[in-house]
Structure 1
Amino acid sequence: MPGKKADAEAFASRWANKGIENQDTQRFWIDFYQNVLGVEDAVSRLEFEKPVSTDASAHDGYIDVFIPSAKTLIEQKSLGIDLAKEETRQGRKVTPAKQGNAYAQGMPLSQQPRYIIACNFSDFWVFDRERDSLCREPLFRLSLAELPKNLAAIQFLKGGAEAPATISRAVSVEAGKIMSKLHDQVAEAFDDPDAPENHHALSVLMTRLMFLMFCEDSGLVAPNAFRDYVSHFQAGDLRRGLKDLFVWLDTKDEDRDKYAESWLKKLPYMNGGLFREKTEIPPLSENFRHTLIVEGCQEFDWSGVSPTVFGSIFEGALSHDHRRANGQHFTSPENIHKVIDPLFLDGLKAEFDEACAKPVAGGARTRALKDLHEKIGGISILDPAAGSGNFLTESYLCLRQLENRILFELQGVQASISFEESGDRDVLVSLRNFHGIELEDFACCVARTALWIAEKQADADTAKVTQRVYQELPLRDYEGIVNANALRIDWNDVVPSDEVDYILGNPPFIGNARLEDSQKEDRANIFGKSAGSLDYVACWHKTASEYMAGHHIRCAFVSTNSICQGQQVEPLWKPLFENGVHIDFAYPTFEWDSQASDEAHVHVIIVGFSREHIKEKVLFDREGTPKVVGNINGYLAPIKDMFVSRRSRPLCDVLPMVRGCQPTDDGNLLLSAEERDALVAREPEAEGLIRPFSMGAEYIKGTSRYCLWMDGIDPAVLTKMPITRERVQRVREFRLTSTKEATRRKAETPWLFDEVRPPQEKSYIAFPAVSSGRRKYVPTGFVTNGMIPGNKIYYVDGGGLYEFGILTSAIHNCWMRAVCGRLKSDFNYSNTIVYNNFIWPNLTDSHRAEIEMCAQAVLDARSSHQGSTLADMYDPDNEFLFPDLMKAHAELDAAVESAYGVDFNGDENKIVAHLFNLYAEKVGE
């Protein structure tokens, strides 16, 4: 728990409107460390006036405050100094942050701080040198007065932690910890916390408590009204007290008991349905009472919690396994904007700018602004996998912010504009237009509460513009979040499709291999027999496409990246495209940024689609830069729609690529180097049965691994080798327990691999099936030592320099990245999808000779670094260490492009477009 809010308030009061750099810096920061952060050894943690030099002969200045344990340097200024203004220091003009950064650069590299804080006693500007090495924009700003509400944001100064990317994120994470603690303390009091009725009751209780604490800190109820009420009850009576409170909050003023206790009368009628349902509350412990009163009500300020990242509170109250089973992952505001900005917000902002640019004379500007106001007030949004409401909440807040800008401009044009005559018509963006479907009951409760909080915060902002007082309480009824399985109800029963403008969200991230039986049934109901190996998220894409038929609806989902790669592209996107769906914009694979404390590492895409005929599609690159293109196909490539199907033989007349041998042995036929040595020492005759072996990972890393290879052996031999025979026996037992009939049949020959496909030639090209998505080239090479390739290696038997040159070229790797499957962000190569559909160049003898020469140069460059593995040499972070290898690859790439008759200089989009065109010509599309 952060330092106490009361201590921070006292600190802010002590230092309000005072502070001289030369006199007060040390007292200020020692006071801050001791009384706000609660660090007892503050004096030993802080270094003052530390000399620093960028010149060996003389130091340039002194660091005001240096905190080694927090990797932080503080540039202190007196009260009133503008932290954004440049002043002349050491002969050059710099802001305080840049001055501190110059000092940081003058320190030894091992001591350089990560964070720079510019402070003038009334404001703290925190800069992160890892994000912005020039200290141009602060990570966040925090005023002295705001400090008590944002204690979570400055906890990194204690040391050993990172500064938050935003204040709201830090506050919300801390809120999540408190709610998780309260959740666990109530859950353990239920006789069966996992019973559906108890889980629901717990969900309702948590969201009610959260909302009441928010109301107390944001001024919607009298200061400390909720805390004082709870404090009147001992733990044994608190259960009854909360039940009475919830009834009171749902009772209109005229129906209330006029003789009720004074501490109950302080709390107003709430309405909105939040307190209407009668649910069970178990006996509550003294620990719960203490957490609620001290940590929840007294020490933490809930007014700073962002309703958009309210999902972190929901996450904090659920186990990781529970979220994983349901594919629940919660989106950061930054990633939400990757969806809503291109879907609708960018367009609305452009319309606002156009309206503001119209002439005032004649009323054109006013009419345009009012028309836009009416438009955004009518926008209706559906999230059919609403979770804790993050997408809906952020969309609502952004539309309210745009509405505030419109209202401000209308007042500027028409200074005497009167809103009083139209009642509440100045606020047209309404929660009534925000709809959601969510399977988890708890999430529904959280989503509704988050939207209520968002409405109250937005009303406060609008009041600053219009100078009007908006109805704070009671809440308006809101039932826009429906608790249901979105794949088993008609979305029109939630909101008719002719009333919806946009569909958005992040449906569950569950891959085909992890689907439960009920989820497989959902998928089968939607796709029928064509479901194949589709991920669960594909169900939302198809359902949305059917819901939007005949209407001007646009949709965008965050999705697992596999639906636009490998075998899933055709069964999902081909029928959608044939039925009039178009991809309007897309983000390629990026790593998910969750608000969870145990953040889930998943890799996703964003696909925006509709039945509209939008000429200019937008494809974002991996850095998030938009590019206007004519079409985006199912592989998220800027070319015409086409599909790469599994193919058993290569399209071109080339050597076949074969998948390696699969053991299915529970590890009994495979040996580490140590196991090999131990086996040979005890059973020397086994040495003739041992061969080098590798899956793709070992091949890339250069790890030695071996296998027992007994293809063609007389089984009678094993009777004289008891240790090897025991290993074979364990293989048999393992295969017999398999649920697959084919595997059980292989128990009849347990000394053999499950799948026996050894190379026949003395030399073959090994191509690892799985490789890091960060690599430009999959590390491919020749094998000549008789190594048995495992099932995570594909191989070209008898392949030579020409085949190696093509397979290791940028052109083949670009094709792979476009069409292969993925394991998270890793490439998951397939001979049937990638190799067999790859179009090889029409060769001349000179082109072949050039490619072979360049391929040999790549091998020569590798061999000059004998101590380095393929993993070392092809790590993108190490490329500068192997300039000869990178040069050899560049020359090989140029030679291969020349063989194709193109000169794209490695431009991946152009290469992929060219290969797709060649593929279309070959298959007649």
Structure 2
Amino acid sequence: MRLSWPEIRANAAHFSEEWHGKGYEKGQTHSFYDEFFAIFGVPRKQVASYEHRVKALDPRRTGGFIDLFWPGMLIVEQKSIGRNLDRAMTQALDYHDWLPEAQRPRHMMVCDFQRFELLDLETRRHWHFPLPDLKRHVEAFDFILGAKPQLLRNQSPVNRKATDLMGRLHNALAAQGYVGHDLERLLVRLLFILFADDTGIFERREQFLLFLETRTSADGGDLGRWLIELFEILDTPPDRRQRGLDADLAEFPYINGALFSGRIATPVFDRAMRQMLIDASIFDWGEVSPAIFGSLFESVIDKVSRRKQGAHYTPEEAILKVIGPLFLDDLRAEFDRACALRSGRDAALRRLQDRMVGLSFLDPACGAGNFLVVAYRELRELEREIIRERLIADGPVQQVLDVADLTRLNVDRFHGIEIDEFPSQIAQVALWMTDHIANTRLGEDFGRPYARIPLVTAPNIRHGDALEMDWTDLLPPDRCSYIFGNPPFIGAKYQTDMQRAQLRRIAALPGSGGTLDYVAGWFVQAARFAAAGGAHIAFVATNSIVQG
């Protein structure tokens, strides 16, 4: 059975501890890589060989032996601890060129037991990291599991399959007449449950899958009723649950957060639809990035509605181009400066964490929360690095009493406005999922599982029209640090009468409102809001912003 990423990261942490301080090329390379491949549950001898001979293209050269060779996939050049890895990479690239074209690997790696350098020749992506950080970078080796590496996390085949699974279920339910608010609430709840089933939120892994397979009838006739009962249980604290409750239902934890509050109509499933939900449950949602739920939104909302609203999913690459220069690059630079200090290092790192905790973020066109999710994920990752630098000396990670005391960032600093109810619900769930992933990784660092369940703190996502709302009701201007997002683009010729009237009012334009694109409304509103409090602004836009 394929290992999950949390299991792989735990294996990598153990591997790093076992090999700390070791590094003799001639005597330990074979043991090192047999155990390295075991991290991923893959026997090394099934895919790669040691000491593979290659002949030089130039007859004046003698050729050589590749330390570890996986045809078409990987070359490894191994050195003893402390040796020059630049020269080792040059040697590995020579070996690559000397191989027959059909055998040339996509990946090159050099290592001295304590440092790794991995190169993807197709995407040109380059990883450098020390042995203790292996668990942070194990996903760079997803090709060992048979996955094709991608440049961006939200473009991975895993993420696309996840959206396909939910899209199929959505369409099947809609075809049965289960539509609107009830369908949207059902999908959001199922998204959370599927994620919880694979990531440790539920006490037993695949608890929901087992429940589906053993307690619901094969024809799907009782599945809808079971789901409604489960939603009630997830919304009820243990001390308020009825005595004599079904034992399988009673095992599910209290989630809170209003995610499962409020009744929805009971959906009707058939045999095929039950199998769709089982297929979605078998899929490993622990590998899915919450940042892709915007593409799920696109897959289930019809194109006509998206065009009227100007809705569009923002890829992660574009998000990082916005939040990097807006705030993330500056925080990263401050972290690097603090780490370089010989004295006062801990105090500088503590000040940086204090600064991050004081930041608040607003996306006034948040859609399914892509911007908020990526921003929160990057901030939590930086905070994790700060915590590690402050608490971990050289050598294996020390255990701490309570991991919850280490992190101070939470989702309540993230605010959003979204005109459509379904993506606004997805945004909230996606932020909770991102928080859980960050907590899990922090717990792995210190050998202590950590989950914030039941949900107490929630992001502030408001369902409404951002151009009609008073943003100060959501967040006081003096408490807002950054405003960002990807507001809707609708050209003047495609706007409704209401949208055109909004622009005339907001921009104080006479007559028809000129030829302003609808996105201009967010620039004007954000500028006025920021003027009252000093927030910095960065939006995605088209060149139409300067053509009106």
TM-score (norm 2): 0.77
The change in CA–CA distance for 1:52 and 1:182 in structure 2 (over 3 A counts) is: farther
**Paired residue for 2:96?**
100
Distance in 2, Cα, partners of 1:523 & 1:17 = 59
1:263-302 correspondence to structure 2 within 5 Å = 263-293=248-278, 295-298=279-282, 300-302=283-285
Distance in 1, Cα, partners of 2:326 & 2:382: 15
Label 1:103 to 1:86 Cα distance change in 2 as closer, same or farther (>3 A). farther
Question: Within 2, Cα distance between the matches of 1:337 and 1:237?
Answer: 45
Match of 1:173 in 2: 160
Distance 1:453-1:15 versus aligned 2 partners, 3 A rule: closer
Q: Aligned in 2, Cα 1:152/1:323: closer, same or farther, shift over 3 Å?
A: farther
Q: Alignment partner of 2:161: what SS?
A: helix
- Using the alignment, how far apart are the partners of 1:302 and 1:274 within structure 2? 19
Q: Tell me the residue number matched to 2:229.
A: 244
Query: Would the aligned equivalents of 1:407 and 1:466 in 2 still touch at CA under 8 Å?
Result: no
Q: Which one of 315, 335, 348 corresponds to residue 332 of structure 1?
A: 315
Q: Distance in 2 between matches of 1:440 and 1:409?
A: 42
| Partner Cα separation in structure 2 for residue 15 and residue 468 of structure 1 | 21
Residue 521 of structure 1: how far off its partner (Å): 2.4
Partner letter of residue 164 of structure 1?
Q
d(CA) in 2 for partners of 1:165 and 1:467? 30
- In the other structure, the counterpart of 2:387 is 407
**1:75 offset after TM fit, Å?**
4.4
| CA–CA distance in structure 1, aligned partners of residues 144 and 242 of structure 2 | 41
Q: Report what 2:44 is aligned to.
A: 19
Residue by residue, what CA displacement relative to the aligned partner does 1:45-65 show, whole Å, maximum 9, x if unpaired?
xxxx99998579999799977
How far did 1:240 drift? 0.3
Residues matched between the structures, number: 492
| Contact 1:437–1:481 (8 Å) recurs in 2 | yes
Among 187, 204, 208, the alignment partner of 2:185 is: 204
Quickly say closer, same or farther: Cα 1:387–1:81, change in 2 above 3 A: farther
Q: What residue number does 1:397 align with?
A: 377
Q: Please list every run of 5 or more consecutive structure 2 residues that lacks an aligned counterpart in the other structure.
A: 8-36, 111-115
Q: Which residue number corresponds to residue 185 of structure 1?
A: 172
Residue 220 of structure 1 corresponds to 201
Amino acid at match of 2:375: S
CA distance in 2, matches of 1:359, 1:146: 31
Letter in 2 for 1:188: A
Q: CA deviation at 1:74?
A: 3.2
User: Letter of the aligned partner of 1:542 in structure 2?
Assistant: V
Tell me the equivalent position of 2:526: 544
Residues 461 and 529 of structure 1, relative CA distance in 2, 3 Å threshold: same
Give the whole-Å Cα distance in 2 for the aligned partners of 1:102 and 1:88.
17
Pairing of 1:850-865 with structure 2 (within 5 A): none
Alpha-carbon distance change, 544 to 256 in structure 1, aligned in 2, over 3 angstroms: same
CA separation of 1:525 and 1:312: change in aligned 2, threshold 3 A: same
Corresponding residue number in structure 1 for 2:113: none
Q: Is the 8 A contact 2:477 2:533 kept in 1?
A: yes
RMSD over aligned Cα atoms:
4.3
Check conservation: 1:168, 1:304, Cα contact below 8 A: no
- On the 8 A contact 1:77/1:118 being kept in 2, the answer is yes
Q: Answer yes or no: is the 8 Å Cα contact 2:367–2:418 preserved in 1.
A: yes
Per-residue deviation, 1:461? 2.6
Query: Which residue does the alignment assign to 2:106?
Result: 116
Which residue number in structure 2 is paired with residue 437 of structure 1? 417
Structure-1 residue corresponding to 2:32: none
Contact 1:172 1:312 (C-alpha < 8 Å) held by counterparts: no
Q: Specify the SS of the correspondent of 1:525.
A: helix
2:226 and 2:143 mapped to 1: Cα distance? 31
Q: Does the C-alpha gap of structure 1 residues 25 and 424 become closer, same or farther in structure 2, counting only changes over 3 Å?
A: closer
The amino acid that maps onto 2:314 is T
- Determine helix, strand or coil for the equivalent of 1:455: helix
Secondary structure of 2:165 counterpart: helix
- Aligned residue for 1:456? 436
Aligned residue type for 1:202: L
Deviations 1:755-790 (A, max 9, x none): xxxxxxxxxxxxxxxxxxxxxxxxxxxxxxxxxxxx
How far off its partner does 1:93 sit?
Answer: 5.2
3-state secondary structure, aligned to 1:559: coil
Cα gap change, 1:257/1:333 in structure 2, threshold over 3 Å: closer, same or farther?
same
Provide the C-alpha distance between the structure 2 equivalents of 1:142 and 1:366, rounded to a whole number of angstroms: 24
2:540 alignment partner, SS class: strand
- Residue type of the partner of 1:310? F
Tell me the residue number matched to 2:34.
Answer: none
For residues 481-560 of structure 1, the aligned pairs below 5 Å read 481-530=461-510, 531-560=513-542
One of 303, 306, 311 as aligned partner of 2:294:
311
Structure-1 separation of matches of 2:143 and 2:271: 26
Corresponding residue number in structure 2 for 1:257: 242
Aligned CA distance change for structure 1 residues 395 and 14 (closer, same or farther; 3 Å): closer
User: Residue 480 in 1 paired to residue 457 in 2?
Assistant: no
Return the letter of the residue paired with 2:493.
Answer: A
Letter of the aligned partner of 2:91 in structure 1?
V
> In the alignment, does 2:309 pair up with 1:322?
no
CA contact (8 A) 2:399 2:446 kept: no
2:384 aligned partner, one-letter code: N
> What is the percentage of aligned positions where both structures have the same residue?
32
Q: Matched residues in 2 for 1:214 and 1:74: separation?
A: 31
- Supply the AA of the counterpart residue of 2:487: P
When Rg is computed on C-alpha atoms for both structures, the one with the higher figure is: 1
Alpha-carbon distance in 1 for matches of 2:42, 2:147: 24
Task: Call closer, same or farther: CA 1:102–1:273 in 2, change over 3 Å.
Answer: farther
TM-aligned CA distance change 1:370 to 1:326, over 3 Å: same
Change (3 A) 1:297 1:395: same
1:349 to 323, 332, 338: 332
CA distance in 1, matches of 2:147, 2:445: 34
Identify if the C-alpha distance between structure 1 residues 426 and 142 changes in structure 2 by more than 3 Å, giving closer, same or farther.
Answer: closer
| Structure 1 residues 251-287: Cα deviation after superposition (integer angstroms, max 9, x where no partner) | 0000112322222122111111110121223211222
Return the alpha-carbon distance in structure 2 between the equivalents of residues 419 and 94 of structure 1.
43
Displacement of 1:14: 12
8 Å CA contact retained: 1:176, 1:316: yes
Structure 2 Cα separation of the partners of residues 401 and 523 of structure 1: 39
What does residue range 630-779 of structure 1 map to in structure 2 within 5 Å? none
- Whole-angstrom CA distance in 2 between matches of 1:60 and 1:366: 50
Displacement of 1:408: 2.6
Please tell me the residue identity of whatever aligns with 1:254: D
1:545 & 1:349 partners in 2: Cα distance?
Answer: 26
Q: Which residue does the alignment assign to 2:33?
A: none
**Structure 2 residue aligned with 1:41:** none
Instruction: Flag the 1:371–1:333 CA change in 2: closer, same or farther, 3 A.
Output: same
Matched residue SS, 2:415 = strand
Which ranges of structure 1 fall in alignment gaps of 5 or more residues? 29-48, 67-72, 157-162, 569-925
Alpha-carbon distance in structure 1 between the residues aligned to 2:232 and 2:529: 40
Contact 1:153 1:164 in 2 (8 A): no
Equivalent in the alignment of 2:23:
none
Secondary structure of 1:182's aligned partner: helix
Whole-Å Cα distance in 2 between the matches of residues 53 and 112 of structure 1?
15
Please say if residues 224 and 268 of structure 2, whose CA atoms lie closer than 8 Å, have aligned partners that are also in contact.
yes
- Rate the CA distance shift 1:5–1:353 in 2: closer, same or farther, 3 A: closer
**Distance in 2 of aligned mates of 1:151 and 1:54:** 28
Higher relative CO (Cα under 8 Å, sequence separation at least 6) belongs to: 2
2:236 counterpart SS class: coil
SS of residue in 1 equivalent to 2:106: strand
Letter in 2 for 1:165: L
Give the Å deviation of 1:224: 1.5
Letter in 2 for 1:183: H
Instruction: Report the structure, 1 or 2, having the larger helix content.
Output: 2
Alpha-carbon contact 2:363-2:483 (below 8 Å) kept: yes
Deviations 1:170-199 (A, max 9, x none): 122221111111111211122xx5xxxx32
